[in-house]
Amino acid sequence: MDNSKAVMITNSLPGENKFVKLDDCTINYDDKGIGTIPVIFIHGFPFNKTSWQPQMDFMKSKTRVIAYDIRGFGNSTSGREKESISLFADDLIEFMDSLGIQTAVVCGLSMGGYVILNAVSKYSSRFEAIVLCDTQCIADTPEVKQKRIQSTSQIMSGKIKEFAEGFMKNLFSMEVLESGQELKDLVRSMILSTSSLTITRTLKALAQRHEMCSILKDIALPSLIICGNEDKLTPLAQSEYLHKNISNSELRIIKSAGHLSNLEQPEEFNSYLSEFYAALNKQ
């Protein structure tokens, strides 16, 4: 990967909304705290880096924490290359190179987990540990691929709001669906702030991604797996499979949480993340 084109561009806000130019896109990120081995957060689809705000605020007193917008999401630009999980993984490494980060702990939710598994399969030496949240190693089934195609058609016909409302029905625990209006409003705004083009292109990338289950046995990194017990999109059985097949892993199940466990039960999520990071420093 040619990093000669990686040029730092920062604004006047310390730690927030910084920018770095990669080969064909510009990445927006937040960078807070101080630490030798940073924690890098990778958001899910179709969200942005602000989905990690509770974890950034909690962990910044303990170490350096970074959350970035995947290309096309948030305030990051799309670039000219076709979206794919493999490209997003390459972006992660180029992003780390641009910031002078040799190794990091990476924490990804859903699509962010797909990115991590892809990156570990190619660049395992760049990571100290991984945190896989509400994610899975399987590729899309034919039924899921068909649903993504239908969603793409729906969005291209101008029904982005309808897509958002339908998508959100499967995101949350029953508790949030019944009484979590503030969180639902936040998530809705993140979805609607994402361009229709980015959403449709990423839906295709998700549908075309390769399975990563075959690499699990080769992962020797300390691994934390977190899943909401009411996750409908990546059910608990998928996290249990990850735990069973990654030898150096631990599984934490969060009750009364759906697919967005870090936002639905942030205190419990943060405690598991903090304990895992502290244990790494004692090794």
Residue 200 has pLDDT above 50, yes or no: yes
Domain around 228:
7-141+211-282
pLDDT category of residue 52 using cuts at 50, 70 and 90: very high
Residue 33 scores a pLDDT above 90: yes
What number is the average pLDDT over the span 13-28? 89
Summarised one tens digit per residue, pLDDT across range 138-179 is: 999 999 999 999 999 999 999 999 999 999 999 999 999 999
User: Which of 2-6, 21-25, 63-67 has the weakest average pLDDT?
Assistant: 2-6
- 186: in domain: no
pLDDT at 120 over 90: yes
Residue 80 has pLDDT above 60, yes or no: yes
Q: Is residue 147 part of a domain?
A: no
Q: What is the pLDDT of residues 95-106, one digit of tens each?
A: 999 999 999 999
Q: Tally the domains of the chain.
A: 1
Looking at residue 221, which CATH number applies to its domain? Answer: 3.40.50.1820
Report if residue 122 sits inside a domain.
yes
Please give the average per-residue pLDDT across 47-57, as a whole number.
Answer: 98
Is residue 118 over pLDDT 70?
yes
| Angle between helix 160-168 and 181-193 (nearest 10) | 140
Residue 55 lies in a domain: yes
**Single pTM value for the model:** 0.94
Does 137 map to a domain? Answer: yes
168 falls within a domain: no
Residue 217 within any structural domain of the chain: yes
Residue 179 lies in a domain: no
